[in-house]
Amino acid sequence: MRTKVQHSLKKPEDFKKQLLLWAQQFDDVVWLDSNNHKDKYSSYDAILAVDAFTSLKTDCFDAFNRLQEYQTTTKDWIFGYLTYDLKNATETLTSNNFDGLDFPELYFFQPKKLFLFRDNQVEIQYLKVVDDEIEEDLISIHAVTSVLVERSEDAIKIKLRIHKDEYFEKANKMLAHIQRGDIYEANFCQEFYAEDSTINPLETFHKLNTISKPPFATFLKMEYKYLMSASPERYIKRDGEKLISQPIKGTAKRSLDSAEDKTLAENLSKDEKERSENIMIVDLVRNDLSHTALKGSVKVEELCKVYSFLQVHQMISTVTSKVSNDVKPVDVLKTTFPMGSMTGAPKISAMKIIENLEDTKRGLYSGSVGYFRPNGDFDFNVVIRSILYNSIKKYISYSVGSAITAKSDPLKEYEECLIKAKAMREVLEN
């Protein structure tokens, strides 16, 4: 049981910054920020969960069953992540590529302290074991005078795991698989990284979020491992009997010139290659949702709609379905994960080819961060446009990818990757 307190805010943005700085004292932190992007499926403006009361940490073996047991027995809010490599839990697949980060493959925790933001209100929910700390914590949070954080002074030298010529070679191998009919499309990713480097995670997140302002921004801390994410993409949400998935496929750069920017967005909306990428993934998502859907309930509510963010224009579709109450929440994740926008079609063949051609274990990149509510509803993002950091190993990583289809030009795919990498590189290289 949780004690709930409503707290009014005169300056929500200032309180958010104070709260996130205050949260750094804890080993387990999940901060989710919509940056005031309000759509019809938004539940909260922002959420902070800190201080694990119970937790689940596991590799891929039996991971979804263990998560189902944990979610069912806890019957409380739980927050955490699924790494891409949980594909190995549901299919006969492996992940043998290099991993410089060492994130556990699945991690969830039940927070003692929870803050839910809507408009100028924050609902504070503390477990009974700590509810006598609410007033004291509020005083401490409001007393955080500096909303700035210590700056990272060291210059970060970014390296490429796959160099340009090798990228073209691998992209052409992917195209050969498509021409042979092994796959129609696959998301091919590459890693940028820095070794023996240190950053201030909170400062890095603030900078990344400020230049991107995405609807699914995430700061995650698990002891000495960090995720700083400017994700624009929802993987899947459950709201009662309704499931909502919103895959992104199709990217164009922004322009400071308003007329040119409008043209770039219009060109994206009409681009045959980008539309075909998006439609292929929509078909895959429809198929994934059909595993748990009530008959005839899978619908495409929005197809290939272009949305504009600070860094890029994106083509987003919205696919929904209905499920019966006896469908277990984790079964929805198990039958749809990893998300189609980060794999390809057919999904299993694409994942096998991805594993062979990529040089880095994806781990949390192209996985998902989110939460379950006590009633089993949930909301999860897609971990893209993200910086990952292991502070003990002093290893910093960000990955980007693009969808390879029969119409792909490897040079244009490479340039798309660089557009997506721009924000992370700017943040790290100051």
User: Given CA atoms 328, 330, 331, 333 in this order, what sign does their dihedral have?
Assistant: positive
Catalytic residue among 249, 334, 347, 361: 249
Q: Which of 191, 233, 355, 416 is catalytic?
A: 233
Instruction: Provide the CA 257 distance to its chain's centre, in angstroms.
Output: 30
Are residues 391 and 279 in contact, defined by beta-carbon separation less than 8 angstroms? no
* Alpha-carbon separation of residue 192 from 83, 98, 133, 398 (angstroms): 18, 13, 42, 5
Under a CB-based contact definition with an 8 Å cutoff, are residues 358 and 97 in contact?
Answer: yes
Angle at 426 between CA 227 and CA 29, to 5 degrees: 15
Q: How crowded is the C-beta side of 100, counted as CA atoms within 13 Å?
A: 21
> Is 249 one of the annotated active-site residues of the chain?
yes
69 is known as an active-site residue:
no
Q: Taking Cα atoms as reference points, which of 21, 31, 37, 212 lies closest to residue 116?
A: 31
Q: Widest CA span of the chain, in angstroms?
A: 65
Backbone phi, psi, residue 405, to 5°: -125, 180
Locate 395 and state its tokens. Answer: 């290893």
Which residues are identified as catalytic?
Answer: 233, 249
